[in-house]
Amino acid sequence: MSRIPKLPGAKENKPGFSNIRNITRTIGNGLSDVDKKALLLNHTKPSSTITSGTSVAAPRLKRAASANAVAPPSKAAKVERKPSVSARIPPYDYKARFNDLVEKHKVIKSELTSLNTKYIEVSDDYEKYKELADNSLKETSILKDKLQNCLRELRQITADHDSLKLDNALQKRELDDLHNKTKILEDVTNSLKIKSMENDRLELEINDLSRRHKSLQEENEAIRVLNEHLKKVSAEHEKLQEDHKCALELIKKTQTHRDALQNIIDTMYKDQRILRNTIQDLKGNIRVYCRVRPPLESETNKPLYNLHVVDACTIEIEKIELLNSARKGKSQHTFSFDGIFTPHSSQEDVFAKVSSMVQSALDGYNVCIFAYGQTGSGKTYTMEGGNGLAEYGIIPRSINMIFECMAELKEMGWELSIKASFLEIYNEVIYDLLDSSKDQESHDIKMVNSKGSELYVSNLREEEVKSSHDFIRLLIFAQRNRQTAATLNNERSSRSHSVAQVKISAINEKRKEKFTSNLNLVDLAGSESGKTTQRMGETKHINRSLSELSKVILSLQTNQSHIPYRNSKLTHLLMPSLGGNSKTLMLVNINQFDDNFNETLNSLRFATNVNSCKTTKAKKNLTLFDGF
Ligand SMILES: Nc1ncnc2c1ncn2[C@@H]1O[C@H](COP(=O)(O)OP(=O)(O)OP(=O)(O)O)[C@@H](O)[C@H]1O
């Protein structure tokens, strides 16, 4: 009950209100006797008293009604309208009246309870609303304050904005002013820049001009010096002119002398050539030299037969047969040739004797130099040589000599062109040693013209050589090709003839002379007999070609009308160099090994046959021509 708020204006000391409370309490606990009496008194009082009694309770009912304005009409109200029912109860009937009152009391009590409940609810709501109202009031006050603040701030901002606007307008005006000033300044700067550039240019021009001025001053000075020098030079020039006149006269005289001397030289050269060839003719156009090779370091233990050099042209060989052999006793043989090269003769010694043949080629004769002998007798060493300049053989030395003489001949008006080709004849088939391809085209020996004096080999590479170096390069290439073939074909190099051909074409415009000569440098196949079946086949070809060579030489010796050149590839190829219009030199190579005595004997006999052959006087290939 303490939570129930006191209604405004309800005071405890008010008799009406306390009465009601008392009544209520009493009704709740059962009526006391006093109450019952009071009730009876009140009840028995005239209706006006009752009315006054009810008027005491009225304010409370009114308040309840006002608190429950929307509530349905209360039972109390209904009770107030009931006097008409109680009026029907006779006044004496106290019991009925009492019951009626009890009934009414019950109704009022229940109404009071419901009113109390509602009062509590309303009080709660009141409290809530009051709190809400208080909060709202507080919030409103806060919001009001905020609004006030905002309004203040807004006023301040508006004021600031206005002042800023003003400032902005002022600054804009200032900026425009500044823009204008900047533009003016830019214009001024540009014009200043142009002026400064102009200034720089002018400075450069001034510098350039001062430099030019300086150099002109220097030139002026130099011209002055030159003028002085020129004066001296012109004096010297005049003197020199006089000297020149004298010199010209002297040159004229010398020229006449020189021409006379040149004529003498030409005549002497001609005579020299004639003499050389006369000597050659006297020596014979087929010349044979014998070269004995020394044993190599690895061969020092091999037994040797006796070899005795009788004189510069004669050797004697002797083999002492064992007493128990079929041919017991001494076997002694003497051979004479155009010269003998002992085991001590150097490559230079050999070439000194051979060089006259190379000279003949340069004089326009066909020349053939070939090395003959059994395998390992030193043919390749003699023709090609070993390592280094000192061991150069006949082939590289010949080419060196040709190029050395070329310079001399040039002074006498001769222009020479040299062409080289390298070939190999193996089993009667020609192979081009400058062609490294495996499948070479076939090579045949053909005639250049119907006379048959000049021959050529079809499909054979012929390289023009401009120097000895060019030629050596080709020679090495050919050697390598021959070695490759030899490796593929079991020592083929020993069993084939190798031919280096040098073609010399010379022309002398002044003397209207020209000639072509061939220098054939031949390393023949080993001349010994073969032992295996394959060797037998090769030997047959070698022996045939060597015997054909011997026959050709013999036919030439006996001046036969028919010379069997075409019977072998070798003789056919060497035809121009073996016939009348040629010079031939054979080097028969031998060794001194006892085992090789018989082969050596055969070689020396073959060489003796060749040596006894005398060809007719060689004819030079020189022709006269009217012009080019
Ligand atoms: N005069 C010499 N002085 C020094 N060594 C030589 C001389 N002659 C030949 N020889 C050497 O003897 C060896 C055989 O010589 P070479 O190969 O020239 O003989 P070959 O007759 O050409 O043989 P093949 O028929 O097999 O070609 C080589 O090692 C060579 O260097």
Query: Pocket of ligand 1, candidates 290, 381, 588: which has the most ligand atoms within 8 Å of its Cβ, to mutate?
Result: 381
Residue 455 forms beta bridges with which residues?
Answer: 447
Average the pLDDT over each of 53-62, 275-284, 543-552 and give the range with the smallest value: 53-62
Is residue 373 lining ligand 1, measured as CB closer than 6 Å?
Answer: yes
Other CB atoms closer than 10 Å to residue 290's CB: what's the count? 28
Is residue 366 lining ligand 1, measured as CB closer than 6 Å?
Answer: no
The segment with the largest mean pLDDT, out of 259-273, 310-324, 410-424, is 410-424
Q: Measuring from atom 2 of ligand 1, which residue has the nearest CA?
A: 293
Position 346: which residue type?
Answer: S
Is residue 496 lining ligand 1, measured as CB closer than 6 Å?
Answer: no
> Is 377 annotated as a binding-site member?
yes
Dist. CA 435–CA 481, nearest whole Å: 8
pLDDT confidence band for 613 (50 / 70 / 90): low
Is residue 347 lining ligand 1, measured as CB closer than 6 Å?
Answer: no
Long-range contacts of 17-26 (CB under 8 A, 24+ apart): 17/60, 19/56, 19/57, 20/56, 20/57, 20/60, 24/109, 24/112
Residue 587 Cα to ligand 1 middle (Å)? 13
Largest CA distance in the chain: 215
Average the pLDDT over each of 162-166, 268-272, 589-593 and give the range with the smallest value: 268-272
Asked whether the beta carbons of 564 and 555 are under 8 A apart, the reply is yes
Tell me the two tokens of residue 429: 């088939």
pLDDT at 432 over 90: yes
Ligand 1 atom with the shortest distance to the CA of 375 = 25
Tokens 């009114």 sit on residue: 62
pLDDT at 527 over 90: no
pLDDT confidence band for 486 (50 / 70 / 90): low
Query: Pocket of ligand 1, candidates 293, 374, 387, 499: which has the most ligand atoms within 8 Å of its Cβ, to mutate?
Result: 293
Is residue 376 lining ligand 1, measured as CB closer than 6 Å?
Answer: yes
Asked whether the beta carbons of 336 and 314 are under 8 A apart, the reply is yes
3-state SS track over 272-292: HHHHHHHHHHHHCCEEEEEEE
> Is 47 annotated as a binding-site member?
no
Average the pLDDT over each of 23-27, 478-482, 528-532, 536-540 and give the range with the smallest value: 23-27
Average the pLDDT over each of 420-424, 425-429, 494-498 and give the range with the smallest value: 494-498
3-state SS track over 59-79: HHHHHHHHHCCCCCCCHHHHH
Residue 311 forms beta bridges with which residues?
Answer: 314
The helix or strand, by DSSP H or E, that contains position 330, with its residue range, turns out to be strand 329-336
| pLDDT at position 327 | 57
Asked whether the beta carbons of 1 and 12 are under 8 A apart, the reply is no
Asked whether the beta carbons of 582 and 620 are under 8 A apart, the reply is no
Dist. CA 97–CA 84, nearest whole Å: 13
| pLDDT at position 61 | 41
Name the DSSP class of 385: B
pLDDT at 500 over 70: yes
Beta-strand relationship, 414-426 and 339-341:
unpaired
The helix or strand, by DSSP H or E, that contains position 258, with its residue range, turns out to be helix 94-283
Closest CA to 472 of 407, 398, 526: 398
Query: Pocket of ligand 1, candidates 380, 522, 599: which has the most ligand atoms within 8 Å of its Cβ, to mutate?
Result: 380
pLDDT at 262 over 90: no
Tell me the two tokens of residue 232: 């001296």
3-state SS track over 115-147: HHHHHHHHHHHHHHHHHHHHHHHHHHHHHHHHH
Tell me the two tokens of residue 237: 């020039």
pLDDT confidence band for 142 (50 / 70 / 90): very high
pLDDT confidence band for 282 (50 / 70 / 90): low
* Alpha-carbon dihedral sign for residues 334, 340, 341, 344: positive
pLDDT at 93 over 80: yes
pLDDT at 107 over 80: yes
pLDDT at 207 over 70: yes
Helices (H) and strands (E) in the chain, counts: 13, 15
% of residues, the chain, pLDDT over 90: 45
> Is 280 annotated as a binding-site member?
no
pLDDT confidence band for 620 (50 / 70 / 90): low
Is residue 377 lining ligand 1, measured as CB closer than 6 Å?
Answer: yes
Query: Mutual orientation of helices 94-283 and 47-67 as an angle, nearest 10°?
Result: 0
pLDDT confidence band for 328 (50 / 70 / 90): low
SS3 622: coil
* 551-597 per-position pLDDT tens digit: 888 787 777 888 898 999 999 988 887 776 688 899 999 999 998 99
Residue 379 Cα to ligand 1 middle (Å)? 6
Residue 378 Cα to ligand 1 middle (Å)? 3
| pLDDT at position 535 | 63
Q: Measuring from atom 10 of ligand 1, which residue has the nearest CA?
A: 378
Is residue 393 lining ligand 1, measured as CB closer than 6 Å?
Answer: no
Q: Measuring from atom 31 of ligand 1, which residue has the nearest CA?
A: 381
Is residue 386 lining ligand 1, measured as CB closer than 6 Å?
Answer: yes
Average the pLDDT over each of 179-188, 429-438, 474-483, 528-537 and give the range with the smallest value: 528-537
| pLDDT at position 111 | 93
* 446-484 per-position pLDDT tens digit: 887 766 667 889 999 999 999 999 999 999 999 888 876
Residue 295 Cα to ligand 1 middle (Å)? 10
The helix or strand, by DSSP H or E, that contains position 320, with its residue range, turns out to be strand 314-321
| pLDDT at position 522 | 95
Residue 355 Cα to ligand 1 middle (Å)? 21
% of residues, the chain, pLDDT over 70: 77
The mean pLDDT of the chain is: 81
Is residue 294 lining ligand 1, measured as CB closer than 6 Å?
Answer: yes
Asked whether the beta carbons of 403 and 467 are under 8 A apart, the reply is yes
Is residue 596 lining ligand 1, measured as CB closer than 6 Å?
Answer: no
Other CB atoms closer than 10 Å to residue 401's CB: what's the count? 18
> Is 467 annotated as a binding-site member?
no
Q: Measuring from atom 12 of ligand 1, which residue has the nearest CA?
A: 378
Residue 385 forms beta bridges with which residues?
Answer: 392
> Is 380 annotated as a binding-site member?
yes
pLDDT confidence band for 281 (50 / 70 / 90): low
Ligand 1 atom with the shortest distance to the CA of 381 = 18
Tell me the two tokens of residue 558: 């006996």
* 361-401 per-position pLDDT tens digit: 998 889 999 999 998 899 999 999 988 899 999 999 999 99
State mean pLDDT over 330-356.
Answer: 92
| pLDDT at position 47 | 43
Name the DSSP class of 456: E
Average the pLDDT over each of 144-158, 329-343, 469-483, 522-536 and give the range with the smallest value: 522-536
Tell me the two tokens of residue 298: 């690895």
Position 599: which residue type?
Answer: E
pLDDT confidence band for 23 (50 / 70 / 90): very low
pLDDT confidence band for 487 (50 / 70 / 90): low
pLDDT at 493 over 90: no
pLDDT at 533 over 80: no
| pLDDT at position 136 | 92
> Is 584 annotated as a binding-site member?
no
| pLDDT at position 30 | 46
> Is 183 annotated as a binding-site member?
no
Ligand 1 atom with the shortest distance to the CA of 341 = 1
More reliable by pLDDT, 51 or 149: 149
> Is 537 annotated as a binding-site member?
no
* Alpha-carbon dihedral sign for residues 230, 234, 239, 242: positive
Dist. CA 483–CA 491, nearest whole Å: 8
CA dihedral (65, 70, 72, 78) in degrees, to 10, reads 20
Dist. CA 61–CA 56, nearest whole Å: 10
* Alpha-carbon dihedral sign for residues 161, 164, 169, 172: negative
Is residue 390 lining ligand 1, measured as CB closer than 6 Å?
Answer: no
| pLDDT at position 532 | 47
More reliable by pLDDT, 26 or 602: 602
Other CB atoms closer than 10 Å to residue 150's CB: what's the count? 12
Residue 209 Cα to ligand 1 middle (Å)? 84
Residue 404 Cα to ligand 1 middle (Å)? 28
